[in-house]
Homo-oligomer: A and B are copies of this chain.
Amino acid sequence: MKISDKVESMQFSPIRRFNPMGFKAEADGKKVYHLNIGQPDVETPSVFMDAIREYDKKVIAYAESGGINDLRDAVVDYFKGYDIDFGRDDIMVTTGGSEALNMTFLTILNEGDEVLIAEPFYTNYHTFITAAGGKVVPITTKAEEGYHYAKRDQIEACITPKTKAIVCINPGNPTGTVLTLDEMKLIGEIAKEHDLWIIADEVYREFVYDDRKLASFGMLPEFADRVVIIDSVSKRYSACGARIGFAISKNQDFCQGLMKIAQGRLCVSTVDQVGSAALFRLPKSYYDEVKAEYNGRRDVVYEELMKIPGVVCQKPGGAFYLTAKLPVDDVEDFLVFLLTEFEDNGETVMFAPAAGFYATPGLGKDEMRIAYVLNKEDMRRGTELIKLGIEAYNKKLGK
């Protein structure tokens, strides 16, 4: 029995691929600092489970395919808080941001259509675009330039007659790079000139640091007809296991197409929607607190990383990721070393090798992604373990 060519061509998640080795290290008694996956240790606000515990319907019934109204209205209000105007019908509730992406690409792509996306990028885009019959075309960025890609020349050089959409993960995963509103306008203009959809993945919207202002493609009504915003409760509310996401657009043809797929899969978890409506009604002060926490973690990680000779990295402006070039030839081999040979006082560390975040073969071999999702003390120790690991690894290799 043969499986399909599409699925044959997909990869296992590079973020989860080294998990078995990590579990083995833990089973052997080592403490492993998990900087490899975007699973925050921040507590999920208690309103989520409180709302679910109070849910007292006797039948856990199908919800409406587009989502329950209470949640959609809470999202409308949330956007109003940023002067972004969406109506209930512009908002499709999905099973995580993942399903929003899956359904979005299925709705816009024909077989062979190309999708532009700055590399390194959140690796699962490859899965969703491939599943929809499309092809990823990477806009290659560099550690030395802070992984910036909002440059007309660079973007236009990647556009062909088959290009259908440009993806902006902003703030960026895995780079932490942030677009300004002016840069969004530039991308909007390019998209308009070449008739492209803009897929704006803004699940880290609140997490922008230093003097950066929160910005969204939803703030640019002139491009509204070609913009699809992807959103999720996972990161903002530290609720990754509540599989609630959104595809949001003012383009009615798009929303209608999306609804056909949505009806096919019936609906999204009722209790997760009930809990998520409560999350979107949290006061704005919640975001300030969480943002301050991640900001502090970023500062610690960056400070510690800069102590390692040969590391190349600009201070990232948002999300809770950082990608850096390490002074080793093969980061995957280095990670295996960390998990199977290295230890310092019984402790070691995991990160995600960045090669899996590149579509261009051979790129990113000397880069890693860190998710700064643990408390400051753990982040400091985790980064220190990378430093000690590099010294031991290069010594072993005779460098």
Chain A positions near chain B (C-beta within 8 angstroms): 1-8, 10-13, 16, 37, 39-44, 48-49, 52-53, 55, 58-63, 65, 95-96, 98-99, 102, 106-111, 124, 127-128, 131-133, 195, 197, 225-226, 238-243, 251, 253-254, 257, 259-261, 263-272, 275
Contact = CB atoms under 8 A, between A and B. Distances in A.
B131 A261 contact: yes
Given A4-B106, A96-B265, A271-B271, A59 B238 contact: yes
B60 A240 contact: yes
Given A44-B60, A110-B6, A243 B269 contact: yes
A345 B59 CA distance: 28
Contacts of A48: 60
Given A127-B261, A240-B61, A271-B272, A1 B266 contact: no
A263 B15 CA distance: 9
17 contacts: A3-B107, A4-B132, A6-B133, A7-B106, A10-B261, A12-B263, A43-B59, A44-B58, A61-B241, A62-B240, A95-B99, A95-B269, A96-B266, A111-B111, A131-B261, A241-B271, A269-B272
B264 A128 contact: yes
Q: Which of A41, A96, A131, A226 has the most CB of B within 10 A?
A: A131
Contacts of A127: 260-261, 263-265
Contacts of A257: 3-4, 7-8, 10
Nearest to A259: B12
A63 B106 CA distance: 25
Contacts of A263: 12-13, 16, 124, 127
- What are the nearest 7 A-B pairs in CB distance? A127-B264, A241-B270, A13-B263, A98-B265, A3-B257, A60-B241, A7-B257
